[in-house]
Structure 1
Amino acid sequence: MEIVSIERKTFEAMVAKFDRFVSRMDAICHRHGEKTMSEWMDNQDVCRMLNISPRTLQTLRDNGTLAYSQINHK
């Protein structure tokens, strides 16, 4: 096991950013609460909901931050 030591200020900044991210995701889920997993979204919908560019979306997929599924190469 490796131990990584960081400054308290850095850790608190990371926690604050993560909390803001969670709040944002909760707001999106609440706003679109009627959707179920059977309703698929395309790239444009995801980019609009997360307020990110298509390149950022691809980066999130590539590094495993955002899970996704493909149907018929879409």
Structure 2
Amino acid sequence: MSVEIITKEDLMQFKSKLLTEISKLIKPSEHQGSRQWLKSAEVRKLLNISPGTLQNLRINGTLRYTKIGGTMYYKSSDINSLLEGGNHA
């Protein structure tokens, strides 16, 4: 059985690599939370609903949206309110 000696420098390098990897994992979720507007596909994925259900939410006024060109956008605050069970603002 061989013995391997770990130095302080080895530990510092490991710490640096570990912090870098953790930062990479955290940054996408922070970015996702800071977005103000979401597209239909993102909303459907977030709510786990079909296109028809999303259309019904638009039609009955449960979920407000803004249409620019052919793309519909939804405010992330309205989505959060819907997820929390509250009424939209």
Q: Normalising to structure 1: TM-score of the pair?
A: 0.48
TM-score with structure 2 setting the length: 0.41
Q: Which has the higher contact order (CA 8 A, sep 6+)?
A: 2
Higher strand share: 2
